[in-house]
Structure 1
Amino acid sequence: MRGSYDGGYVLMVGPEMIPNTLDAVIEKGVIISAMKNKHVVVIPYPAQGHVIPLMEAARCFTSNGLKVTFVNTEFTHKQVMSAWSDQQDGENGLMQMVCITDELEPGDNREDFGKLTETMSILGPNKLEELTEDINKVNDEKITCIIADYCMGWVIRVAQKMGIRQATFCPSSAAVLALTMNVQKLMDDEVIDCNGLPLKDQMVQLSTTMPSMDPANFAWACTGNPVTNQIIFDIMTRDGKEAAEASDYIICNSNMELEPGAFSLFPNMLPIGPLLSTTRSAKQAGHFWKADTTCQNWLDQQPACSVIYVAFGSVTIFDQNQCEELALGLELTNKPFLWVVRPGSTKYVYPSGYMDRVSSHGKIVSWAPQQEVLNHPSVACFMSHCGWNSIMEGVSNGVPFLCWPYFADQFFNTTYIRDIWKTGLGLNKDETGIVTRVEIKSKVEQLLSNKIVKENALDLQEKVMDSLQAGNSSYNNLAVEVIPTF
């Protein structure tokens, strides 16, 4: 079934296409009967790392009987729909995909998050209100709750104006949201100034149960661009704090085993992660690019625990020098590697003869089905930018990390991996700011020979995945605490 709202496209996905993420605490038929008149609107921030986890949350909602309207920007909607290879229509579907305009021009740079955020916060409320009214006119199930990314505080204001319940979704670590909620205290304690810039060269703790943080590596302070720093600071302190304080619930794609300190500090944050399609034997939805499906066959041909998986997410950009060091470093390891070079991430020219030299043991793709890759027995480690989605996917598969953070929360995420969970190593830059081929080779060798790190990763995997079982933390937070109240 296809229709349109405000120039957007609608995809209906039947519940039979979406297997249960969690076993029902009570009889499934009873849950679906209770959820029959529940209809939630779900709105992510229009960035890859935000769309994927909220899409997974939405599919969890539908598998438990809720009707979901998933709202992307028009630009993002087209990307998601074109890359979603297993999309199917269903007459009795519980999820519809719709879109609203982001108000940018076709040629505008949608990775200019400052302009995108400001434009949407000014013009988006009227669009969303109109969309909500239109949906209610043509649906027997009126909208009962709006669930918004914590970067979309203006959505919460629309929900309040229309008298609809609201919930905030945090796609990053709970620690990042906890940091956002403590900005005023950090300013009062003269740790940062009113623009979020560090005033002290010392580590700080939000509480004695949380790891220390370096103010220079706060999520808004480490992009390398002062203008971008300010934009991220404004978004987090304005929208994030407002959304969290106004919402009936804060749900987080994290896990109590990973961040006990952050969840103890803010008990109203409910971890429901890891949100993974692979736990349902399903394919992940929400990608902006089509995944290269030849990855699986290639991995099948590699020895167990031998492959270095290299992927830096949807935003990281390397220059020619850094790309060359990475390419040659992977070659020097003499190990099989699967390297994701995202469309538009670089105009890199490989060294002369490189592709021929690594053809027997290296594979380079433009985008990968990452959850399936990390779940493959041939993968030995994950060289990553340490975005939170990647961390959740790596941890859930017991894969050790080589940490190469790029910006924002990725630096603090690295602290979790390297210092708290002890499931990986960091890659260090030289005096010119480059991670050299020698450093790459050295750290790969150290990681793959470190049995303790691997044991830590497997132990953490077991604890995290156990939380999804009936009666345990993530399971209960989603199926018992949150879903019935929508």
Structure 2
Amino acid sequence: MKKVELVFIPTPGISHLVPTVEVAKLLVDRDERLSITFLVMKLRSDPKKPNVKEEVSRLVSRSESSPGSPTIAGFVLDMFCTSMIDVANEFGVPSYIFLTSSAACLGLQFYVQALHDEQKVDLTEFKGSDTELVMPCLANPLPAKLLPSVMLNKEWLSFLMTPTRRFRETKGIMVNTFEELESHAINSFSNGNTPPVYPVGPMLNLNRDGDGDGDVESDKFKDIRQWLDDQPLSSVVVGHRFLWSLRQPPPNGKMEPPIDYTNPRDVLPEGFLDRTANTGKIIGWAPQIDILGHPSVGGFVSHCGWNSVLESIWFGVPIATWPLYAEQQFNAFTLIAEMGLGVEIKMDYRGEFQLDGDEYSIVSAGEIERGVRCLMELDNEKRERLKEMSGKSRTVLENGGTSSTWLGRFIQDVMDHIHD
């Protein structure tokens, strides 16, 4: 039996790297013919294409010179690594994409690229606009003001358009979603105008604090868990009872990971910790999987990053949307309008990382209160829908599930393209 090798080149950011590792693990578990090599580039460094090229050259030479070595079957690239398609082409190797965002977000990228390249639409005119955009990947019109900030800024739009154009050169696109969650968006790719799209998710790292061999529960989570254990079932929002992960934003204009405050009292209203001592807990970094999986948690005030959306659905925890940047406003819209699985705090909020030097908007206490009340008093219909989708998210990767079937189809297509 001939072995084949896929070379994964992810973006090293944790929100991209974790689901990429999970899909790679699933692939090698699924088919014993497959092996996988990861080539991880460093952030904030010189372009690494020459180094990647040398490594790929070594892998290809090994494959060709040694009968027992696996055949290089393809590159699997992150959306921000599409320049590596040139390297793959040079060695005659097919390229694929693993998209860590939603299927609707992929459809949005193709739609905006067509507006920009084919219809010559100036997308910056949509900034703050009430225009509603009708696109194939959505069942409902999208208010243009919810477009990602990068699409409303000329400089950053060109940065986004390049990888989207290059998606069309690949043999296929795996997406971290599942058919039951985004059926409309996934069906919109069936017209043959894009490479094949494979919904293979949800790709989640569900390891809990202290799960590893010989690991013990960290002191930080032990304190959080003990507090959660004391709360009634489904009463805490991550207000009613609350658990607040409060962290410092990155410096203005920089995209860096947040860090914990040395002393939260320095940024909270005077007396806040004393007034809320019996109903709330302020923490820094949060082990999100452990918290969402705790039975006392009844809601999640979230920035709507796609990984967080998938984790909330997995655990059946409803979201109150408070997006910040990237495609999070769009995710908030799809979560509420397309899926019916969340409630709004402020869907068009943009914060922390401003592309045009815009002033920060303020979310009022009234808006937060209304959103949290709606979240914790969610009607039975939405809770049942969320419970149903949670169950589906846990079965789609089982034998015979939709994502399992799509994963098998991807593997078969990889094998078929080896000698194209």
Query: TM-score band, normalised by the shorter chain?
Result: 0.7 to 0.9
SS state at 1:73 partner: coil
The CA deviation at 1:384 is 0.5
- Pair 1:43–1:340, CA change in 2 (3 A): farther
The residue that corresponds to 1:394 in the other structure is 312
C-alpha distance in 2, partners of 1:416/1:238? 25
- Pair 1:37–1:296, CA change in 2 (3 A): farther
The residue that corresponds to 1:437 in the other structure is 365
Which residue, out of 43, 60, 68, partners 2:36? 68
The CA deviation at 1:159 is 1.0
- Pair 1:297–1:230, CA change in 2 (3 A): farther
Q: TM-score, normalised by structure 2?
A: 0.78
Which residue, out of 351, 374, 377, partners 2:292? 374
The residue that corresponds to 2:193 in the other structure is none
- Pair 1:175–1:364, CA change in 2 (3 A): same
C-alpha distance in 2, partners of 1:403/1:341? 18
The residue that corresponds to 1:131 in the other structure is 55
Bigger mean CA offset, 457-466 vs 403-412: 457-466
SS state at 1:450 partner: coil
The residue that corresponds to 1:448 in the other structure is 376
The residue that corresponds to 1:420 in the other structure is 338
- Pair 1:190–1:47, CA change in 2 (3 A): same
1:154 aligns with 2:80: no
The CA deviation at 1:276 is 1.9
The gaps in structure 1 that reach 5 residues or longer are 1-33, 76-101, 105-122, 285-289, 310-332
The CA deviation at 1:196 is 5.4
Once the two structures are superposed, what CA deviation does each residue of 1:166-199 show, in whole Å capped at 9, x if it has no partner?
Answer: 2111111112222222335324786831x65539
Once the two structures are superposed, what CA deviation does each residue of 1:286-331 show, in whole Å capped at 9, x if it has no partner?
Answer: xxxx99533444433332101111xxxxxxxxxxxxxxxxxxxxxx
SS state at 1:147 partner: strand
- The answer on whether the counterparts of 1:205 and 1:211 sit within 8 Å (CA) in structure 2 is yes
1:235 aligns with 2:153: no
C-alpha distance in 2, partners of 1:165/1:236? 22
The CA deviation at 1:254 is 1.1
- The answer on whether the counterparts of 1:307 and 1:338 sit within 8 Å (CA) in structure 2 is no
SS state at 1:293 partner: helix
Which residue, out of 444, 461, 478, partners 2:390? 461
- The answer on whether the counterparts of 1:198 and 1:216 sit within 8 Å (CA) in structure 2 is yes
The CA deviation at 1:400 is 0.7
Once the two structures are superposed, what CA deviation does each residue of 1:8-59 show, in whole Å capped at 9, x if it has no partner?
Answer: xxxxxxxxxxxxxxxxxxxxxxxxxx6x722222122233322222122122
1:53 aligns with 2:30: no
1:336 aligns with 2:242: yes
Residue type of the partner of 1:344? P
C-alpha distance in 2, partners of 1:73/1:188? 30
Residue type of the partner of 1:206? M
Q: TM-score, normalised by structure 1?
A: 0.68
The CA deviation at 1:440 is 1.8
- The answer on whether the counterparts of 1:191 and 1:215 sit within 8 Å (CA) in structure 2 is no
The CA deviation at 1:378 is 1.5
The residue that corresponds to 2:45 in the other structure is 103
Once the two structures are superposed, what CA deviation does each residue of 1:102-150 show, in whole Å capped at 9, x if it has no partner?
Answer: 525xxxxxxxxxxxxxxxxxx3321211122334567833533210012
Residue correspondence of structure 1 range 69-218 to structure 2 within 5 A: 69-75=37-43, 103-104=45-46, 123-135=47-59, 140-187=69-116, 192-193=121-122, 197-198=125-126, 201-207=130-136, 210-218=139-147
- The answer on whether the counterparts of 1:220 and 1:230 sit within 8 Å (CA) in structure 2 is no
The CA deviation at 1:240 is 2.4
The CA deviation at 1:273 is 0.7
Residue type of the partner of 2:408? A
C-alpha distance in 2, partners of 1:484/1:296? 45
C-alpha distance in 2, partners of 1:370/1:69? 29
C-alpha distance in 2, partners of 1:58/1:208? 27
C-alpha distance in 2, partners of 1:291/1:411? 35
The residue that corresponds to 1:258 in the other structure is 181
C-alpha distance in 2, partners of 1:403/1:297? 27
- The answer on whether the counterparts of 1:218 and 1:408 sit within 8 Å (CA) in structure 2 is no
SS state at 2:237 partner: strand
- Pair 1:147–1:184, CA change in 2 (3 A): closer
Residue type of the partner of 1:45? T
Once the two structures are superposed, what CA deviation does each residue of 1:208-230 show, in whole Å capped at 9, x if it has no partner?
Answer: 863322333222457xxx7xx34
- The answer on whether the counterparts of 1:180 and 1:241 sit within 8 Å (CA) in structure 2 is no
SS state at 1:151 partner: helix
C-alpha distance in 2, partners of 1:483/1:364? 49
Bigger mean CA offset, 43-52 vs 201-210: 201-210
List structure 1 segments (4+ residues) > 4 angstroms apart after TM superposition.
135-139, 188-191, 279-284, 345-348, 429-432
Which residue, out of 362, 366, 382, partners 2:280? 362
- Pair 1:416–1:183, CA change in 2 (3 A): closer
C-alpha distance in 2, partners of 1:365/1:134? 47
C-alpha distance in 2, partners of 1:354/1:62? 51
The residue that corresponds to 1:275 in the other structure is 203
The CA deviation at 1:372 is 2.8
Residue type of the partner of 1:403? T
The CA deviation at 1:272 is 0.4
Percent identity, please: 27
- Pair 1:58–1:231, CA change in 2 (3 A): farther
C-alpha distance in 1, partners of 2:169/2:22? 24
